[in-house]
A and B are shown apart, each in its own frame.
Chain A
Amino acid sequence: SAVISQKPSRDICQRGTSLTIQCQVDSQVTMMFWYRQQPGQSLTLIATANQGSEATYESGFVIDKFPISRPNLTFSTLTVSNMSPEDSSIYLCSVGDEVYGYTFGSGTRLTVV
């Protein structure tokens, strides 16, 4: 299965600022997925990032708040913009398929103060 390097692993940010999270995959993949895991909750899909096109966002998530870049087939970034304490969560990227399952990055633990 693919190996994903995600960074930063954690950050503490001031409200109103933005944080960009990076995911690097050791192989080329068509789609990358970004998830959020709020405290005590399970994972929720934010968006699907395709190379060469705009990301597709799930209900409740918008591009202005969570802009995504996908410059090539091995890399993606998620930015959490204009942060508030409610954005404090773990953010994870993922790659994979229905046959072999999905692999997750190690996550970015974000605390907004």
Chain B
Amino acid sequence: RKEVEQDPGPFNVPEGATVAFNCTYSNSASQSFFWYRQDCRKEPKLLMSVYSSGNEDGRFTAQLNRASQYISLLIRDSKLSDSATYLCVVNRAGNTGKLIFGQGTTLQVKP
């Protein structure tokens, strides 16, 4: 079983749609959680950190459920520019910088 699992998609949605991505992680001692965005042939870029209380940044909302070892990302009012691969990333407990990446979920927003 992979340490971080995501549905690879692709998710094909129309502009303006709301889309949700889910991610599960296997190490209950994991401490830090992130969503990264990776465009084709580019490096990953931090979209947002994920906090236990949940957090929102504009159209993006991230949630963490430690009991279920589950992370989610909600994108509201999808834009064409949101088309990318979204990576769920977990920091190993007690190991700064040792990030475990999910395989990514591909989103394609269509006009």
Contact = CB atoms under 8 A, between A and B. Distances in A.
A47 to B, nearest CB: 10
B32 A98 contact: yes
A102 B104 contact: no
A48 B97 contact: yes
User: What is the interface of chain A mostly: helix, strand, loop, or mixed?
Assistant: strand
Nearest to B35: A101
Interface residues of A, number: 26
Contact of A31 (B91, B97, B103, B104): B97
Nearest to B103: A42
Contact of A48 (B44, B49, B98): B98
Contacts of B34: 101-102
Nearest to B31: A98
